[in-house]
Amino acid sequence: MKKLYYSIGEAGKITGVKSHVLRYWETLFPELNPTKNKAGKRLYTEKDIEVIIRLKDLIRDKKYSTAGAKKEIKGSGPDHDAPIPVHIQRELKEIRLFLNSLLEKI
The confidence score (pLDDT) of residue 90 equals: 84
Is the model's pTM score more than 0.85?
no
Dist. CA 104–CA 97, nearest whole Å = 11
Q: Is residue 1 part of a domain?
A: no
Q: Is residue 85 part of a domain?
A: yes
CA distances from 8 to 14, 24, 48, 61, 67 (A): 10, 12, 11, 22, 24
Domain that holds residue 53: 8-105
Q: Is residue 92 part of a domain?
A: yes
The confidence score (pLDDT) of residue 21 equals: 96
- What does the pLDDT profile of the chain (106 residues) look like in tens digits? 578 899 999 999 999 999 999 999 999 999 999 999 999 999 999 999 999 999 999 999 999 999 999 988 887 545 555 667 778 888 888 898 899 999 898 8
Domain count, the chain: 1
Q: Is residue 3 part of a domain?
A: no
SS3 31: coil
Per-residue pLDDT tens for 29-52? Answer: 999 999 999 999 999 999 999 999
Cβ neighbours for 64, distance < 8 A, ≥ 6 positions apart:
58, 72, 77
Residue 47 belongs to domain with CATH number: 1.10.1660.10
Dist. CA 95–CA 22, nearest whole Å = 26
Q: Is residue 2 part of a domain?
A: no
Cβ neighbours for 50, distance < 8 A, ≥ 6 positions apart:
83, 85, 86
40 exposed, middle or buried (CB, 10 Å; 0-12, 13-18, 19+)?
exposed
Q: Is residue 69 part of a domain?
A: yes
